[in-house]
Structure 1
Amino acid sequence: MPLKPGSEASIAPEWIRSSYSTDEGPDCVEVAAHPDGILVRDSKNPGGPRLTLAPGAWAAFLPSV
C-alpha cells in the first residue's frame, strides 16, 4: 500500500530497530508507526523502498516471526 502523497513529509516516522540487531548484522528491518499504517524498511538502505502495512496485517504477521 503506497503512502498518500505528502503524508510522510508532514509526519516524520520514528524508526525502531530490534535490540537483537547490530550494525554488523546481515539483515535488519526497522518499523515505524504512521497514520497511514505500519512502515517497514531495510535498515541498511533507509532511503530505499518501504512497505506500508495496515495495522491488522502487521498484527497477523508478527506471530510468524
Structure 2
Amino acid sequence: MSAPTTVRILCQDRGQSVTVQGITNSAWSFLPDYGGWISNIFIQGNARLDNVPACASRRPGDPPNVV
C-alpha cells in the first residue's frame, strides 16, 4: 500500500505514546476494514481527530497499552 491512503475510522482512544520526528502522540484510531489500530501520529490531521467518537463501550479491542 502506498501513501497517502484513505482509511475508515470507527473510533479513537488513548494508548502508548509514539514519537516520530520529535512529535509525540498518544491517540490511536481503530480501522474496522483492517481489524486493528493505528497511531494517530500516522494519520493526517489533529492529534485527536475531530468528529471521531471515543471508543468507550464500543471498543473493538485495546490499542497498545490503553491508559
TM-score (norm 1): 0.30
Structure ranking higher on relative contact order (CA contacts 8 Å, 6+ apart)? 2
More helix by share: 1
More strand by share: 2
Larger Rg: 1
